[in-house]
Amino acid sequence: MKELSLHILDLVQNSISAGATLTEIVIKEDLAADWLTIEINDNGHGMDKELLAKVKDPFVTSRTSRKVGLGIPLMLAACQRCDGDLTISSEVNVGTNLTAVFKHSHIDRVPIGSMAETLISLILCSTYTDFLYKHIIINKKSSLSEFCFDTREVKKLLGSEVPLTEPDILNWIKDYIAEGLSNLGGGI
Amino acid sequence: MKSIKELEEIRKRTLDTINIRKERTGTRVVVGMATCGIAAGARPVLLTVMDEVKKNNLSDVAVTQTGCIGMCRLEPIVEVYRPNEEKVTYVKVTPSKALRIVNEHIMQGKVVDEYTIGSED
Ligand SMILES: Nc1ncnc2c1ncn2[C@@H]1O[C@H](COP(=O)(O)OP(=O)(O)O)[C@@H](O)[C@H]1O
Ligand SMILES: [Mg+2]
């Protein structure tokens, strides 16, 4: 994929399919230690040990077994190209945690891309899932700044009559996130 | 800075239009958003459809997404459902093709034949 935000869009679809009511996306750019970490935590139905053991491998799919897709193997390959790794832990009926690590300055690391577009795409298509998006930057002097966006807060302000999926609301969210990230000076 | 106050104004404005909105005619635009679709460019297609629907005040049109349609080679795929008409499947859709699909098919009822499945090059 051309952007990490596209991997995120794809992987969060797994959380939505797993029936998550809350999915947390945390991007941490640690410029001091030169790591970029993406975490996706959901409270969906989770995976059993057997499935968990094989989701990273695109070749385990056999005609008779359940089809295992490409989203996770693609993210794993992207991490490994950048001296990083992907770890997944999951518990049935509790949820799943996925952590992807990249060397921030690695030449093969694709840009984070538009998290604003990824979030409104997710919102547009999943009325029942809430999203909490945190973007943390630790600069070279080790000082930390953070941007946070929470659909639950927007919903509270809007009340029950106006859904998040109204185009004007989505546009506001898109601009709000894009502006918040550019004030943070990160998201690259 | 985008303010919460602004959101409150949008809320009020939207509430008015929701209340006067006519009932949905039932047109649905569905964009394939599985791994293959996203990798092929489904996100800008989805957002272009959303923008164009909004720009033309097509408040009776629902824009949604679906998972893998099983034709990864032909992604991004957009399906259009209009009441009393057969489903039309568009393949290898780009943002500019999406504009024509909204303007010609959804707004004027004219299927954009050259983008439909079977006509692709
Ligand atoms: N967050 C999650 N919660 C529950 N199951 C998951 C989650 N992420 C992945 N899975 C399981 O792993 C499988 C493989 O995921 P993925 O590689 O994204 O391919 P695909 O989504 O096309 O099946 C999914 O079909 C699903 O069964
Ligand atoms: Mg997936």
Confidence of residue A186 (pLDDT cuts 50, 70, 90): low
A50, amino acid identity: E
Q: Given this model, what pLDDT does residue A69 score?
A: 76
Average pLDDT on B62-70 reads 83
Looking at the complex, report in whole angstroms how far the Cα of residue A74 sits from the nearest Cα belonging to chain B: 9
* A167·B11 Cβ contact <8 A: no
The single residue listed with the structure tokens 């272009």 is: B48
pLDDT tier at A126 (50, 70, 90 boundaries)? confident
Q: Given this model, what pLDDT does residue B43 score? A: 97
> Which helix (H) or strand (E) element contains residue A71?
helix A71-81
Phi, psi of B110 (to 5 degrees): -105, 115
Classify the phi-psi angles of B13: left when phi > 0, otherwise alpha if psi is within -120 to 50, otherwise beta.
alpha
| Domains defined along chain B, listed by start | 4-119 (3.40.30.10)
d(CA B54, CA B58): 6
- Taking the CA of residue A40 as reference, the ligand 1 atom at the shortest distance is 1
**B6-42 burial: b if 16+ Cβ within 10 Å, else e:** ebeebbeebeeeeeeeeeeeebbbbbbbbbbbbbbbb
The two structure tokens encoding residue A66: 């359940």
- Residue B32 contacts residue B65 (beta carbons within 8 Å): yes
* Residue B27 to chain A, least CA–CA distance (Å): 16
In this prediction, residues A128-156 reach a mean pLDDT of 95
For chain B, give the mean pLDDT.
Answer: 89
What is the topology classification, in CATH, of domain A4-184?
Heat Shock Protein 90 (3.30.565)
At residue A63, the pLDDT reads 46
Which one of A16, A41, A49, A55 would you pick to mutate in the ligand 1 pocket, going by the greatest count of ligand atoms within 8 A of its CB? A55
Cβ contacts of A154 on chain B, cutoff 8 Å: 7
pLDDT for res A70? 87
pTM of the model: 0.94
B39 reaches A (C-beta below 8 A): yes
pLDDT tens, residue by residue, A98-124: 999 999 999 999 999 999 999 999 998
Q: CB contact, 8 Å: B10 with chain A?
A: yes
**β-bridge mates for residue A37, sequence order:** A28, A101
Write the ipTM.
0.91
Region of A119 on the Ramachandran plot (φ > 0 left; ψ -120 to 50 alpha; else beta): alpha
* Residue A51, token pair as written in the block: 């499935």
Residue B70 pLDDT = 74
Q: Between B1, B43, B54, which is nearest A121 by CB?
A: B43
